[in-house]
Amino acid sequence: MLVTPRPESHAQPMTTQQDKPQADSTAVARRNLPILAGQGAFNMMAWSMASPSIVLTFLAVSLDLPIFLAGLLVSIRHGAGTLGDIFVSASIARLPRKKGAIICMDIAVAVCFLLVIVVTLQGDRTATIAAFVIAIFLIGVLEEIKAMLIIDFVSDNVDSRSRMHVSYLQKAIGGAGTIALVLLVHQLMQDAGPLSRHSTVVMIGVLCFLLSALSMLAFREIAITEAAAPEPGARKPRALTGFFSRARDLFAEPWFRRFMVIRMSFVVVGLSVPFFALIAAEAHHTSAKGLTALIISSSAAVLVATPLWRVLNGYSLKLVMAVAALMVALTGCALVGLHYTGVDHDIHLHAASLFLVTIAVTGLGGARSLYFMEVAPKEQRIAAKAVSTSLARIAIVAISAALAAVAHSAEVAWAIVFITVVSFLAAILSFWVLPPRMAEEARQHPNR
C-alpha cells in the first residue's frame, strides 16, 4: 500500500526555501534605506557647506580675486565633468561593485576642498588662484564620476517606489542639518574676519564628506550586475571613439532624443544659482552675515522644495519643469529691477532671490533625474547619463564663460538678464515639447 505524505509536510519546506532569499533581500533593502538617507543627508550638508557656487564664490571674492575667475569657476567645473563623462563612463558601466568607488569619491573631494583652504590660508595670490583652478577642476571630474556611480547604484539597489521618498528625505535632513551648523558657526565666529568664517564653513563641509563616506560603509549592495569579461585578444576601443559611438547609437533611440530636448532646454536655468550668488557676493562679501544668510537661504529652499515638488511630481513632471523655469524667470525680473533702482543693498533681498531659484533648480534637477531613471534601460543607463550630461556641460562651459566675461567687463546684472529671458523661453518650450503626463508615459513605455 502506498503511503501518501501529508500535504503540510511536503509543501511547507518548499515554500520556506523559495521565500527565504526573497525575504532576506527585502530585509536588506529595508535596512539599506535609512543608511542611504543618512549618507545622502551628510553628502548634501557637505555640498552646502563647501558649495562651489556659493561658498567658494564668496571665498574668492573676499580674497579680491578677479570677478572673471569667480564666474569662470562654473566653466572649469563643468568642463572637467565633461572629461569624466567621455573617458570614465565606460569603465563605470563595467564596474560590478560601486559602493567602494563612491566612498573613494567622497574622500577625494574632501581632500580637494582641504587643499583650497590650506593654500588660501598659507599661500600667496598666485598660489591661491592656482589652487582654486586645480581643485575646482578635480572636483568637477570627481563630482561627475560620483553622479554616474550614484545613478546606477540607486537604480540597482532601491526600487522605483522608494527612490523619491529617499531622495526627499535626504534633502530634508540635509537642509535642516546645514541650517543648524551654519547658525552655530555664525554665533561662534561673529567677530572673526570674512576669510576665517568662510574657511571654517568649508572645513565643516570637508568633515561632512568624510562622514558621508563612513556612512556608506554600512550599506549592503543587493543588486550587482557582473561585468562581462572581454574576449581574449579583443581590442579595447579608445575612450573618445567609444563615446561618439555610444552617442550615435543613443540618438537613434526616441526616448533619448526626447530626454535631450528636456536636458538642453534647461541648461541656462541651472546657471541661475551661481550667478545669483555671484551678484550677492560682489555686494556683501565683507558682511558678517552675508555668507550665513545665503547658506541658510539655499538650505531652507531645499526644505521647502522637498514637500512642494513631491506633491507636484505626483501630478506631472512636466508641470514641475515649467513651474521651476518660470520661478527663475520671475525672480530674475525682480532682482534686476531692484538692482537698477538701487534698492538691492540689503542682503535679505539677495537671500530671498537665491531661496527662490534654489527651490526652482532643486525641483528641476529632481524631476529630470526621476524621469531619466524611469525611461533609461539598464544596459544604456550609464552611457546615456554620460552622453546627455557631457553635451549639456559643453553648453554650460561656453555659456557660463561668456556670462563670466560679461560680468567682469560690464556687471553681473547683465548675466542675470540673459538667464531671465532664457528661463521664460524654457518654460514656454516645455509646454510645447513634453507630453502632458511624462511619468505615466515612461512607466508604460520603459524603453522609449
The conformation of residue 135, written as its DSSP 8-state character, comes to H
Query: For all residues of the chain together, what is the average pLDDT?
Result: 80
Measured torsion, CA atoms of residues 215, 219, 224, 226, in degrees rounded to the nearest 10: 60
Tell me how far apart the alpha carbons of residues 266 and 333 are, in angstroms, rounded to a whole number.
Answer: 18
Q: Which of 15-29, 126-140, 153-167 has the lowest mean pLDDT?
A: 15-29
Tell me the average pLDDT across 292-316: 82
Least confident of 60-74, 220-234, 363-377, 402-416: 220-234
Among candidate residues 211, 167, 150, the one with its CA nearest the CA of residue 33? 167
Q: How high is the pLDDT of residue 7? A: 42
- Which set of grid coordinates corresponds to residue 384? 546615456
- Residue appearing with cell numbers 521664460: 424
Domain with residues 33-221+251-444, CATH architecture: Up-down Bundle (1.20)
Is residue 311 pLDDT above 90, yes or no? no
> Higher-confidence residue: 286 or 385?
385
Average pLDDT over residues 265-274: 88
Q: Quick one: pLDDT at residue 239?
A: 60
Q: What is the mean pLDDT of residues 405-417?
A: 86
pLDDT of residue 186: 84
Band of residue 109 on the pLDDT scale cut at 50, 70, 90: very high
Compute the residue count for the chain. 448
Helix (H) or strand (E) holding 24: helix 7-49
User: For residue 106, what are the contacts with CB-CB under 8 A and spacing of at least 6?
Assistant: 43, 46, 146, 209, 210, 212, 213, 216
Which of 30-44, 45-59, 268-282, 363-377 shows the lowest mean pLDDT across its residues? 363-377
pLDDT at 286: 63
**Residue of 434 and 232 predicted with greater confidence:** 434
Query: In the structure grid, which three cell numbers stand for residue 196, read together?
Result: 576665517
Supply the pTM of this predicted model: 0.73
Which of 19-28, 47-56, 291-300, 402-411 shows the lowest mean pLDDT across its residues?
Answer: 19-28
Amino acid at 243: F
147 pLDDT higher than 80 = yes
How far is the C-alpha of 284 from the C-alpha of 374, rounded, in Å?
42
